[in-house]
Structure 1
């Protein structure tokens, strides 16, 4: 991972928590501190994000409800009974 020589990069929004955790490691190896030099946020709220240093900020969604709704839609079944909670950002130390 190579960062530009400018201050233009201030944050990384990763595809998922796994990529975000690897990003934390790469930034550490480059001698950068999170979130002082650059902020990092993941997506999917895996249990490992809370155990790292710094703890990973992440986006949590109700994946089971989204999956059920998608499956029922694909099968042509009704989805009115499936309730989804809105996604939320779990703010931790990395952002």
Structure 2
């Protein structure tokens, strides 16, 4: 199962719920693939456009561009663990999330 920019417009509590619901649909041995913009991805701090995007998300939804630690905390609260991650460019990261069980 895969999702792209699923969490950016969701506050943390709603992001946890969305991940939990998606994880419930993952078959045994499967994984949830998630692509999200991440603060500090590619080893680069937010540029001007990314910073403005962060402020818009923060003001409108209470979310903002999250850090790697934010994503790992949200995944753990949803009962998931990070099986793998890699930067894919333009401040985005691909996360492979698996059930923590």
Q: Tell me whether the two structures share a fold, i.e. TM-score over 0.5.
A: no
After TM superposition, the score normalised by the length of structure 2 is 0.34
Which structure dedicates a bigger proportion of its chain to helix? 2
The higher radius of gyration belongs to 1
